[in-house]
Amino acid sequence: MNGKPTSADGKPTPPRPKPHPFGPPLDDGESREFFRRLSARPAPDQQAFVGRVNWNLIDQPTEQRLMTWLAGGLLLPDPERQAFVLKTLDKMPHPRRGRHASLFAELLPALDEDLRVRLQTVFGPVLGGPRKKSNRPATQAAPPAPPKAASGDDLAKLKDFFGKSGGAR
């Protein structure tokens, strides 16, 4: 036998389709219902759910709704929720945050000075904050050494090398 699965009549069976690990995206009504139920939950449950979201696997409409939820958390007078929102935004890659900068820019006038500065720091120059520091170590390239004239030995080595490889062309 060749190790391939066969049916009762001896013909090879086609491979079974593997189930998709994720279901289809929620339609608009299902998404609205999900977020209605999420908002009805206590704040710690909401934060626990949003804290576990894998942002790389969600579709665009869900991402928009979650960002709207995060933006709403900044307007609440709860410092813990505000800190959670800022921490969640800070963990996101810049392009994902940047897609929603206009949503958060609309909030800036409504925020107190401290929260506004913290939000701008998380977003960086996109919202008028300082440039974020890079995690990469700062390596400065050494200035190039000034060119020096080739010695007779260097020229002999080059002539020998090119002589072996068929000459300079």
Report pLDDT for 137.
66
Q: Is the pLDDT of residue 33 over 70?
A: yes
More confident residue, 1 or 14: 14
Report pLDDT for 131.
81
Report pLDDT for 36.
92
Which range is least confidently modeled, 5-19, 43-57, 83-97?
5-19
Q: What are the C-alpha distances in Å from 126 to residues 100, 122, 129, 136? A: 10, 10, 7, 21
User: Average pLDDT of 111-125?
Assistant: 91
Report pLDDT for 31.
87
The pLDDT tens digits of the residues spanning 73-99 come to 999 999 999 999 999 999 888 888 889
User: Average pLDDT of 110-138?
Assistant: 84
User: Average pLDDT of 22-33?
Assistant: 83
Using 50, 70 and 90 to split pLDDT, how confident is the model at 110?
very high
Q: Is the pLDDT of residue 115 over 90?
A: yes
